[in-house]
């Protein structure tokens, strides 16, 4: 199993080196096309669009027929037939069409929120995958070094050039690195399975060898950009516009409803035909309906203002976190770029400047520092993913 994993890591690194790297956009586009939840949310928006538009035109005509045989002292049968069409005032259909379009736009932005959440999760998993592949590459080198050290000290023990304590220290070092390698193996397989799930259960080749090429731009630019593109804000804005249009639609419904039709009545041999005209005047509910629509509009306006402030505050917090991680990452890069602790420790051990125990103690400390750097680097790009989620 261990050898299979090492072959998998080598194959993945080989592909990353010699195959043209995929962009994050290409991978996320595939997931968008295959993700079941995203496809379901798009279908839901389409179905709601039909629902919203069903009142853009008048309801169908109403047809009545009556048959009354021999129900009076007058001989003969009575029959009636009526067909009529009721319509609102023309302004109602014009305003309701605009109202329906605003509701559709609102649902489209809500669908985009679902889509962005899924794509952000997928991007986060890819960033984690890159991080684990970096760790796997480092751990592979550490494992080879640990094996070589342990083998060398076994030989030195046989030659009497090393003691049992030094051999045990080398063995413990090998055991720790082996444990780390197994943990990374498990995490890589887990990440790939999660990405497969987001891709609709389909396998997805991931030939990404580095983090996204994103930078931390000025805070004011991010805030301005987010306020104009964040789908949650845009959905709320459409809700405000829809609530204002709903007031107009509600007022239109308080206007008389007209009915025009044709009717005929036959009694025995006598026939009567003519035009039917009707009018329906809402008297009892008009004031309350309009007041309700106005209160709902006020609610959505206040919600929009509150959400704007919340998004600005949230963006500032995420920006500060990302900026701190960036500074920490650059500090690690500066220090690690100036020194090569592993080479220095090897030289010091060979020249007898430090003992074997001190060597492994310092080596573990160096591993810990480098692993912290990899973690900070990953966390920085994860913070950018969250900060720029509204762009997906």
CB atoms within 10 A of CB 53: 15
Which CATH number covers residue 265?
1.20.1600.10
Residue 358, pLDDT > 90, answer: no
**Closest-CA residue to 333 (of 366, 376, 288, 291):** 376
**How many domains does the chain fold into?**
1
Quote the percentage of the chain above a pLDDT of 90. 45
pLDDT at 330: 92
Predicted TM-score (pTM) of the model is 0.82
Confidence band for 375, pLDDT divided at 50, 70 and 90: very high
How far from 131 is each of 70, 330, 371, CA to CA, in Å? 91, 17, 10
Calculate the CA 222 to chain-centre distance: 19
Reduce the DSSP state of residue 208 to 3 states and report it: coil
- Rounded mean pLDDT of 341-368? 73
- Rounded mean pLDDT of 116-126? 95
Quote the percentage of the chain above a pLDDT of 70. 90
How far from 172 is each of 51, 131, 268, CA to CA, in Å? 68, 26, 112
Q: Mean pLDDT over all residues of the chain?
A: 85
pLDDT at 74: 64
pLDDT at 101: 94
pLDDT at 27: 92
Radius of gyration of the chain (CA): 36
Q: Buried b vs exposed e over 236-245: b needs ≥16 C-beta within 10 Å?
A: bbbbbbbbbb
**pLDDT, tens only, 193-209:** 999 999 999 988 888 88
- Rounded mean pLDDT of 171-176? 88
Residue 290, pLDDT > 80, answer: yes
**pLDDT, tens only, 304-325:** 999 999 999 999 999 999 999 9
Residue 6, pLDDT > 60, answer: no
Domain around 69 = 2-391
- Tell me which of 133-137, 235-239, 281-285 is least confident: 281-285
Q: Is the dihedral of CA 375, 378, 380, 383 positive or negative?
A: negative
């Amino acid at each position: 199993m261990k050898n299979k994993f090492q072959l998998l890591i080598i194959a993945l690194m080989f592909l990353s080196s010699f195959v043209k790297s995929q962009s994050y956009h290409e991978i996320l586009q595939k997931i968008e096309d295959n993700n079941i939840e995203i496809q379901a949310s798009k279908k839901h928006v389409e179905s709601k669009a039909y629902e919203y538009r069903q009142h853009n035109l008048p309801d169908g005509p109403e047809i009545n027929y009556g048959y009354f045989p021999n129900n009076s002292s007058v001989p003969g049968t009575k029959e009636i037939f009526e067909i009529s069409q009721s319509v609102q005032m023309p302004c109602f259909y014009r305003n309701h069409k605009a109202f329906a379009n605003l509701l559709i736009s609102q649902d489209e932005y809500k669908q985009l929120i679902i889509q962005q959440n899924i794509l952000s999760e997928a991007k986060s998993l890819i960033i984690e995958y890159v991080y684990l592949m970096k760790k796997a590459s480092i751990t592979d080198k550490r494992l080879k070094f640990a094996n070589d050290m342990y083998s060398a000290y076994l030989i030195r023990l046989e030659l009497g050039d090393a003691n049992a304590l030094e051999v045990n220290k080398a063995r413990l070092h090998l055991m720790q690195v082996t444990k780390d390698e197994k943990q990374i193996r498990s995490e890589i397989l887990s990440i790939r399975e999660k990405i497969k799930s987001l891709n609709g259960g389909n396998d997805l080749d991931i030939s990404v060898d580095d983090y996204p090429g994103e930078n931390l731009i000025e805070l004011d630019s991010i805030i301005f950009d987010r306020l104009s593109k964040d789908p949650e804000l845009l959905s709320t804005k459409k809700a405000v516009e829809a609530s204002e249009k709903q007031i107009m639609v509600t007022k239109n419904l308080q206007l008389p409803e007209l009915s025009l039709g044709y009717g005929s009545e036959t009694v025995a041999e006598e026939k009567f035909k003519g035009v039917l005209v009707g009018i329906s005047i809402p008297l009892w509910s008009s004031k309350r309906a309009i007041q309700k629509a106005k209160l709902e509009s006020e609610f959505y306006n206040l919600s929009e203002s509150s959400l704007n402030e919340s998004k600005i505050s949230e963006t500032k917090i995420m920006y500060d976190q990302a900026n701190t991680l960036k500074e920490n990452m650059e500090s690690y890069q500066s220090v690690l770029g100036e020194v090569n602790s592993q080479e220095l420790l090897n030289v010091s051990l060979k020249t007898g400047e430090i003992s074997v125990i001190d060597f492994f103690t310092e080596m573990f400390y160096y591993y810990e520092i480098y692993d912290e750097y990899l973690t900070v680097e990953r966390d920085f790009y994860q913070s950018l993913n969250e900060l720029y989620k509204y762009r997906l």
